[in-house]
Amino acid sequence: MKAIFNGTVIAESDDIVMVDGNPYFPRSSMREEYFRESSLTTVCGWKGTARYWDVVVGDQSVANGVWAYDTPKPDAESIRERFAFYRGKGVEVS
């Protein structure tokens, strides 16, 4: 599976975990030069606290377009060290 933004592959992996209809990529597949840490966090009742990154490629960016659960709750352990992309914010995942 690939994640593409502004014509650039920003993540790619065959090791995908699907949770709530979202593909979670392994952290090792993140092309870090295209991600900028955000200060945003949110809480999901069963997954835990998510932290976010902005996606930046060239002069295009998506604020808070990527999230991860660094210390997920037990029921969400399968997404530890993984991240997902918000749909509809310009990152194509296929």
Report pLDDT for 31: 98
- pLDDT confidence band for 87 (50 / 70 / 90): confident
What is the residue extent of each domain of the chain?
2-93
38-50 confidence digits (pLDDT tens): 999 999 999 999 9
- The total of other beta-carbon atoms located within 10 Å of residue 92's CB is 12
The answer to whether 23 and 15 have CB atoms below 8 angstroms apart is no
Residue 38, strand partner residues: none
The answer to whether 89 and 68 have CB atoms below 8 angstroms apart is no
Superfamily for domain range 2-93: Domain of unknown function (DUF427) (2.170.150.40)
